[in-house]
Amino acid sequence: MNCLLTQLETEHKVVGVKQSRKAVQRGEARLVFLALDADPQVTDPIMELCQALRVTVETVPHMKDLGAACGIALGCAVAAILAE
């Protein structure tokens, strides 16, 4: 598992597109994870928002891996680690 991805197990986070987008817009997200196998119509707007607001983005190959790192049984397209 990606070293940064393991941070999702212990850090404050939000999971899902809507919650992650809100966190980025509010300046609360310091790192965003995007699953590469998620629908680009879902992830591309988040990627653009992160680029515009200079939030670091890491990609994860599979939604199931991102979901597992977040502690959920389902796949996950987007997750964000929150600033302290």
Domain over 5-82 is classified CATH 3.40.640.10? no
Q: For the residues 17-22, what does the mean pLDDT come to?
A: 97
Averaged pLDDT for residues 22-36: 97
- The helix/strand/coil state of 81 is strand
Counted residue by residue, the chain has a size of: 84
Which sequence spans correspond to the domains of the chain?
A: 5-82
Buried b (16+ CB within 10 A) or exposed e, 52-76: eeebebbebeebebbbbbbeeeebb
Return mean pLDDT, the chain. 93
In this predicted structure, the answer to whether residue 2 has a pLDDT above a threshold of 80 is no
